[in-house]
Amino acid sequence: MNDREDLRRLRSEVCTANRALAEAKLAPLTWGNVSGISSRRDIIAIKPSGIAYEDLTPDDIPLVDLDGRVVEGRLRPSTDTATHCAIYRAWPHVGGVAHSHSPYATMFAQARRPIPCLGTTHADHFAGDVPVARQLTAEEVAAGYEEATGKVIVERFAQLDAMSIPGVLVAGHAPFTWGASARAALENAIALEAIAHMALGTMVGLASAIALEPHILAKHRARKYGADAYYGQRERRSP
Protein backbone atom coordinates (compact mmCIF):
# COMPACT_ATOMS: atom_id res chain seq x y z
CA MET A 1 0.00 0.00 0.00
CA ASN A 2 1.42 3.39 -0.95
CA ASP A 3 1.11 6.54 1.15
CA ARG A 4 -1.94 7.89 -0.72
CA GLU A 5 -3.80 4.60 -0.40
CA ASP A 6 -2.90 4.47 3.30
CA LEU A 7 -4.30 7.97 3.85
CA ARG A 8 -7.48 7.22 1.90
CA ARG A 9 -8.01 4.11 4.01
CA LEU A 10 -7.28 6.07 7.19
CA ARG A 11 -9.74 8.84 6.32
CA SER A 12 -12.44 6.29 5.59
CA GLU A 13 -11.81 4.42 8.85
CA VAL A 14 -11.83 7.62 10.90
CA CYS A 15 -15.00 8.86 9.20
CA THR A 16 -16.76 5.56 9.93
CA ALA A 17 -15.59 5.57 13.56
CA ASN A 18 -16.84 9.12 14.13
CA ARG A 19 -20.25 8.32 12.68
CA ALA A 20 -20.39 5.20 14.86
CA LEU A 21 -19.51 7.28 17.95
CA ALA A 22 -22.69 9.28 17.45
CA GLU A 23 -24.77 6.22 16.54
CA ALA A 24 -23.71 4.64 19.85
CA LYS A 25 -25.06 7.76 21.59
CA LEU A 26 -21.67 8.59 23.10
CA ALA A 27 -21.41 12.09 21.63
CA PRO A 28 -24.55 14.27 21.65
CA LEU A 29 -24.55 17.16 19.16
CA THR A 30 -20.86 17.31 18.15
CA TRP A 31 -19.39 16.50 21.59
CA GLY A 32 -16.70 14.04 20.61
CA ASN A 33 -14.11 12.97 18.08
CA VAL A 34 -12.13 9.97 16.88
CA SER A 35 -8.74 10.03 15.20
CA GLY A 36 -6.33 7.56 13.66
CA ILE A 37 -2.67 7.70 12.69
CA SER A 38 -1.02 6.63 9.45
CA SER A 39 1.10 3.48 9.20
CA ARG A 40 4.21 5.68 9.01
CA ARG A 41 3.03 7.49 12.17
CA ASP A 42 3.51 10.92 10.65
CA ILE A 43 -0.06 11.91 9.71
CA ILE A 44 -3.20 11.96 11.87
CA ALA A 45 -6.75 11.93 10.50
CA ILE A 46 -9.31 13.48 12.86
CA LYS A 47 -12.90 14.71 12.88
CA PRO A 48 -13.39 18.30 11.70
CA SER A 49 -14.53 20.76 14.36
CA GLY A 50 -18.25 21.30 14.84
CA ILE A 51 -19.46 19.20 11.89
CA ALA A 52 -22.49 16.95 12.43
CA TYR A 53 -21.53 13.28 12.41
CA GLU A 54 -24.25 12.27 9.96
CA ASP A 55 -22.87 14.74 7.41
CA LEU A 56 -19.31 13.43 7.49
CA THR A 57 -17.64 11.94 4.44
CA PRO A 58 -14.03 10.70 4.20
CA ASP A 59 -13.12 13.80 2.19
CA ASP A 60 -14.22 15.96 5.14
CA ILE A 61 -11.62 14.43 7.47
CA PRO A 62 -8.61 16.77 7.91
CA LEU A 63 -5.08 15.45 7.98
CA VAL A 64 -2.59 16.95 10.43
CA ASP A 65 1.00 16.29 11.42
CA LEU A 66 2.10 15.25 14.91
CA ASP A 67 2.20 18.90 15.96
CA GLY A 68 -1.40 19.43 14.85
CA ARG A 69 -0.62 21.46 11.73
CA VAL A 70 -3.03 20.84 8.87
CA VAL A 71 -1.34 19.16 5.91
CA GLU A 72 -4.47 18.41 3.90
CA GLY A 73 -8.19 19.16 4.09
CA ARG A 74 -10.54 22.09 3.68
CA LEU A 75 -12.07 21.93 7.17
CA ARG A 76 -10.58 22.94 10.50
CA PRO A 77 -9.67 19.91 12.66
CA SER A 78 -11.20 19.21 16.07
CA THR A 79 -10.36 21.58 18.89
CA ASP A 80 -9.06 18.49 20.75
CA THR A 81 -6.41 17.79 18.10
CA ALA A 82 -3.51 18.79 20.35
CA THR A 83 -4.68 16.28 22.99
CA HIS A 84 -4.75 13.48 20.42
CA CYS A 85 -1.30 14.49 19.14
CA ALA A 86 0.17 14.38 22.65
CA ILE A 87 -1.11 10.82 23.11
CA TYR A 88 0.32 9.64 19.78
CA ARG A 89 3.69 11.24 20.48
CA ALA A 90 3.91 9.61 23.91
CA TRP A 91 2.66 6.13 23.04
CA PRO A 92 3.87 4.68 19.71
CA HIS A 93 1.66 1.60 20.16
CA VAL A 94 -1.54 3.70 19.97
CA GLY A 95 -3.15 3.74 16.52
CA GLY A 96 -6.43 5.47 17.34
CA VAL A 97 -7.87 7.84 19.94
CA ALA A 98 -11.52 8.53 20.83
CA HIS A 99 -12.96 11.32 22.96
CA SER A 100 -16.59 11.28 24.01
CA HIS A 101 -18.94 12.90 26.46
CA SER A 102 -20.84 9.69 27.14
CA PRO A 103 -23.12 10.29 30.14
CA TYR A 104 -22.05 7.71 32.71
CA ALA A 105 -18.30 7.90 32.13
CA THR A 106 -18.59 11.70 32.17
CA MET A 107 -20.39 11.51 35.54
CA PHE A 108 -17.32 9.79 37.00
CA ALA A 109 -15.04 12.37 35.36
CA GLN A 110 -17.08 15.24 36.79
CA ALA A 111 -17.03 13.62 40.22
CA ARG A 112 -13.23 13.16 39.91
CA ARG A 113 -13.65 9.49 40.78
CA PRO A 114 -12.07 6.49 39.04
CA ILE A 115 -14.36 3.79 37.70
CA PRO A 116 -13.74 0.83 40.02
CA CYS A 117 -13.31 -2.66 38.64
CA LEU A 118 -16.30 -4.43 40.19
CA GLY A 119 -16.87 -7.28 37.77
CA THR A 120 -15.67 -9.40 34.90
CA THR A 121 -17.25 -7.18 32.22
CA HIS A 122 -14.90 -4.42 33.32
CA ALA A 123 -11.93 -6.79 33.55
CA ASP A 124 -12.47 -7.96 29.96
CA HIS A 125 -11.59 -4.47 28.73
CA PHE A 126 -9.64 -2.64 31.45
CA ALA A 127 -7.04 -4.28 33.71
CA GLY A 128 -8.11 -2.43 36.85
CA ASP A 129 -9.78 0.84 37.79
CA VAL A 130 -10.10 3.43 35.04
CA PRO A 131 -8.05 6.34 36.46
CA VAL A 132 -8.70 10.06 36.66
CA ALA A 133 -6.12 12.51 35.35
CA ARG A 134 -5.47 15.51 37.59
CA GLN A 135 -7.13 18.86 37.02
CA LEU A 136 -5.19 21.44 35.03
CA THR A 137 -3.77 24.52 36.70
CA ALA A 138 -4.74 28.00 35.54
CA GLU A 139 -1.24 28.41 34.13
CA GLU A 140 -1.50 25.19 32.10
CA VAL A 141 -4.85 26.24 30.67
CA ALA A 142 -3.50 29.65 29.69
CA ALA A 143 -0.40 28.14 28.07
CA GLY A 144 -2.35 25.69 25.91
CA TYR A 145 -5.44 23.93 27.20
CA GLU A 146 -5.71 21.02 24.75
CA GLU A 147 -1.97 20.30 24.74
CA ALA A 148 -1.94 20.35 28.56
CA THR A 149 -4.89 17.95 28.63
CA GLY A 150 -2.83 15.46 26.64
CA LYS A 151 0.15 15.94 28.93
CA VAL A 152 -1.82 15.23 32.12
CA ILE A 153 -3.28 12.09 30.52
CA VAL A 154 0.21 10.82 29.70
CA GLU A 155 1.44 11.90 33.15
CA ARG A 156 -1.32 9.86 34.84
CA PHE A 157 -0.03 6.71 33.14
CA ALA A 158 3.57 7.07 34.29
CA GLN A 159 3.11 3.97 36.46
CA LEU A 160 0.35 2.28 34.43
CA ASP A 161 0.21 0.27 31.20
CA ALA A 162 -1.77 2.39 28.75
CA MET A 163 -2.71 -0.58 26.56
CA SER A 164 -3.96 -2.70 29.47
CA ILE A 165 -6.06 0.22 30.70
CA PRO A 166 -6.92 1.93 27.39
CA GLY A 167 -8.87 4.84 28.80
CA VAL A 168 -8.85 7.73 31.24
CA LEU A 169 -11.21 10.25 32.79
CA VAL A 170 -10.15 13.88 32.50
CA ALA A 171 -11.17 15.61 35.74
CA GLY A 172 -14.24 17.78 35.33
CA HIS A 173 -14.32 17.00 31.63
CA ALA A 174 -14.93 13.60 30.03
CA PRO A 175 -13.25 10.35 28.93
CA PHE A 176 -10.60 9.59 26.34
CA THR A 177 -9.93 6.07 25.09
CA TRP A 178 -7.40 4.63 22.67
CA GLY A 179 -6.40 1.43 20.94
CA ALA A 180 -4.51 -0.12 18.08
CA SER A 181 -6.78 1.61 15.54
CA ALA A 182 -9.59 4.16 15.34
CA ARG A 183 -12.07 1.29 15.47
CA ALA A 184 -10.40 -0.17 18.58
CA ALA A 185 -10.46 3.24 20.28
CA LEU A 186 -14.19 3.50 19.49
CA GLU A 187 -14.85 0.01 20.87
CA ASN A 188 -13.04 0.94 24.07
CA ALA A 189 -15.20 4.08 24.36
CA ILE A 190 -18.32 1.93 24.04
CA ALA A 191 -16.98 -0.50 26.66
CA LEU A 192 -16.02 2.34 28.99
CA GLU A 193 -19.53 3.78 28.93
CA ALA A 194 -21.07 0.36 29.59
CA ILE A 195 -18.86 -0.38 32.59
CA ALA A 196 -19.36 3.13 33.99
CA HIS A 197 -23.13 2.60 33.80
CA MET A 198 -22.86 -0.77 35.58
CA ALA A 199 -20.46 0.56 38.20
CA LEU A 200 -22.68 3.51 39.06
CA GLY A 201 -25.72 1.25 39.30
CA THR A 202 -23.84 -1.12 41.59
CA MET A 203 -22.52 1.67 43.80
CA VAL A 204 -25.82 3.52 44.10
CA GLY A 205 -28.29 0.64 44.10
CA LEU A 206 -26.57 -1.59 46.63
CA ALA A 207 -25.32 -1.02 50.17
CA SER A 208 -21.72 -1.63 49.16
CA ALA A 209 -19.68 -2.41 46.08
CA ILE A 210 -17.12 -5.20 46.24
CA ALA A 211 -13.98 -4.93 44.13
CA LEU A 212 -13.42 -7.85 41.78
CA GLU A 213 -10.90 -10.34 43.16
CA PRO A 214 -7.45 -9.89 41.56
CA HIS A 215 -7.22 -13.49 40.37
CA ILE A 216 -10.54 -13.22 38.53
CA LEU A 217 -9.48 -9.91 36.98
CA ALA A 218 -6.18 -11.42 35.85
CA LYS A 219 -7.92 -14.48 34.35
CA HIS A 220 -10.31 -12.39 32.27
CA ARG A 221 -7.47 -10.27 30.91
CA ALA A 222 -5.30 -13.30 30.18
CA ARG A 223 -7.98 -15.26 28.33
CA LYS A 224 -8.52 -12.33 25.96
CA TYR A 225 -5.08 -10.72 25.63
CA GLY A 226 -2.54 -13.07 27.24
CA ALA A 227 0.07 -15.23 25.54
CA ASP A 228 -2.32 -18.19 25.59
CA ALA A 229 -5.49 -16.18 24.89
CA TYR A 230 -8.48 -18.21 23.75
CA TYR A 231 -11.25 -15.60 23.48
CA GLY A 232 -12.40 -14.67 19.95
CA GLN A 233 -10.39 -15.13 16.77
CA ARG A 234 -6.61 -14.80 16.56
CA GLU A 235 -6.62 -11.64 14.43
CA ARG A 236 -8.90 -9.71 16.85
CA ARG A 237 -7.00 -9.85 20.14
CA SER A 238 -5.39 -6.42 20.40
CA PRO A 239 -7.26 -3.97 22.69
- Amino acid code (one letter) for 181: S
Please, what is the average pLDDT of the chain? 92
What is the distance between the terminal CA atoms of the chain, rounded to a whole angstrom? 24
Domain count, the chain: 1
In a domain? residue 204: no
In a domain? residue 234: no
pLDDT at 223: 84
In a domain? residue 223: no
CA 22 from centroid of its chain's CA atoms = 14
pLDDT at 75: 95
- Residue 221's pLDDT band (boundaries 50, 70, 90)? confident
In a domain? residue 121: no
Q: Which of 3-12, 17-26, 205-214, 223-232 has the lowest mean pLDDT?
A: 205-214
Active-site position among 53, 88, 104, 124 = 124
Active site residue 3: no
Task: Report percent pLDDT > 70 for the chain.
Answer: 95
* CATH at 155: 3.40.225.10
Ramachandran assignment for 68, one of left (phi > 0), alpha (psi -120 to 50 degrees), beta (any other): left
pLDDT at 210: 74
pLDDT digits (tens, 9 = 90+) for 10-30: 999 999 999 999 999 999 999
In a domain? residue 216: no
Contact (Cβ atoms closer than 8 angstroms) between residue 149 and residue 90: no
Query: Could you list the residue range(s) of the whole structural domain that residue 97 is in?
Result: 3-114+131-183
In a domain? residue 147: yes
* Polymer length in residues for the chain: 239
- Residue 229's pLDDT band (boundaries 50, 70, 90)? confident
Active site residue 53: no
